[in-house]
């Protein structure tokens, strides 16, 4: 088997979920985001582990993701975050995936599919309170809720919104969104309609906005061990779930001034040992980490030198080294002293989500309980 692999600690996932559960308190459900292959961790294995651990809902971004969960025996309710095309809707209904509904056109499509299958489709109204992406306007909520509840083929299972800046220190915009959302839900109730599960809080909302927890929260990145932003409070003791490891597969000594990798962007400042590790941007190890990142080998960090290649990187081991061929190298993760996804994200001027999501399928996942 290839040396480069990702270790996924399911016990770390469960520990993070336990902390979220204690933080939100009893009576509030958890909908775990497992979209984008569970942020790169593996949708089926994470979905199974989370549902076995008591998570009430799972959330996906595509109908195929929901179908994959169902085909692998996951039976908890599944929420579809994104809007589907008409041709996807019959399968969504067939696999008991609950979509968000943004307008009456979508409601009619689900109504037709459910009626033809002799079933009732559970749907969630999505309100756009300021994200500017999908959802009805707050003043359209009652009309859409009426449309859904008037149909024998549809069930209003919930009402939701999405917070655009809940991971920022300034709460002003999030408070405005929550005020709009709360008012829309109350107008639905005053119209005599049961809104179902009311939910708004993403990871930032979980950490910073307890008033937005409502009936259910939708954590994503915090379940995988990272805060959504450096501005988010470190109120939970989160542990990364994924660690990417490989091996030093080649060692060579180079002279002062010799160039390493494409474009000769790094030259040895002295005689030194160079180690080659079989991972690259084809595995999701970002090319922006060239001449910036460090890896952990034998408890010590070494700098990545030269450009990251598609399949390999090189590290400077120093003028003398105790590193041996086939020693383990940790690219990022949970081991003491190793870089984590947050550190790599800062070097790439991005977010930890992208670091874990980009770990490609050719990196074998090993699941540890």
Q: Could you list the active site residues?
A: 35, 262
The C-alpha atoms of residue 182 and residue 160 are separated, in whole angstroms, by: 10
**What are the b/e assignments for 172-209, b being 16+ CB within 10 Å?**
eebeebbebbbebbebbeeeebebbbbbbbbbbbbbbb
User: How many Cα atoms within 13 Å fall on the side-chain side of residue 13?
Assistant: 30
Other C-beta atoms within 10 Å of 112: how many? 16
Other Cβ atoms within 10 Å of 303 Cβ, number: 15
Check if the beta carbon of residue 20 is closer than 8 Å to that of residue 206: yes
Q: Cα 114 vs. chain centroid, distance in angstroms? A: 30
* Distance (Å) of CA 253 to CA 13, 256, 274, 291: 41, 10, 6, 19
Type and span of the H or E element at 267: strand 266-267
């Amino acid at each position: 088997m290839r040396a480069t692999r990702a270790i996924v600690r399911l016990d770390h996932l469960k520990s993070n979920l336990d902390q979220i559960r204690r933080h939100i308190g009893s009576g509030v459900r958890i909908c775990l985001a497992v979209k984008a292959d569970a942020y790169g961790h593996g949708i089926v294995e994470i979905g199974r582990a989370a549902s076995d651990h008591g998570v009430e809902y799972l959330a996906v971004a595509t109908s195929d993701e929901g179908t994959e969960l169902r085909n692998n025996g996951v039976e908890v309710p599944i929420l579809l975050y994104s809007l589907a095309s008409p041709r996807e809707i019959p399968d969504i209904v067939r696999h008991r995936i609950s979509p968000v509904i943004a307008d009456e056109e979508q409601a009619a499509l689900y109504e037709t599919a459910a009626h033809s299958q002799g079933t009732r489709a559970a749907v969630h109204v999505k309100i756009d309170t300021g994200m500017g992406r999908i959802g009805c306007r707050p003043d359209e909520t009652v009309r859409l809720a009426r449309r859904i509840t008037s149909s024998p083929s549809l069930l209003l299972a919930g009402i939701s919104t999405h917070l655009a800046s809940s991971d920022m220190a300034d709460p002003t915009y999030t408070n405005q969104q929550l005020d709009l959302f709360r008012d829309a839900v109350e107008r639905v109730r005053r119209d005599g309609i049961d809104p179902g599960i009311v939910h708004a809080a993403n990871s930032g909302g979980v950490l910073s906005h307890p008033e937005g927890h409502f009936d259910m929260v939708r954590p994503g990145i915090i379940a995988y061990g990272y805060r959504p932003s450096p501005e988010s409070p470190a109120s939970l003791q989160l542990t990364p779930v994924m660690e990417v490891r490989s091996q030093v597969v080649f060692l060579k000594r180079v002279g002062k001034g010799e160039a390493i990798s494409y474009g000769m962007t790094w030259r040895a400042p002295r005689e030194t040992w160079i180690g080659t590790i079989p991972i690259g941007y084809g595995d999701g190890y970002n090319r922006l980490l060239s001449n910036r990142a460090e890896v952990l080998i034998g408890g010590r960090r070494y700098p990545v030198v030269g450009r990251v290649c598609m399949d390999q990187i090189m590290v400077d081991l120093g003028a003398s080294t105790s590193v041996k061929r086939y020693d383990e190298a940790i690219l990022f993760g949970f081991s003491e002293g190793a870089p984590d996804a947050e550190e790599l994200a800062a070097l790439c001027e991005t977010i930890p989500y992208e670091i874990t999501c980009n770990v490609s399928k050719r990196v074998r996942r090993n699941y540890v309980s």
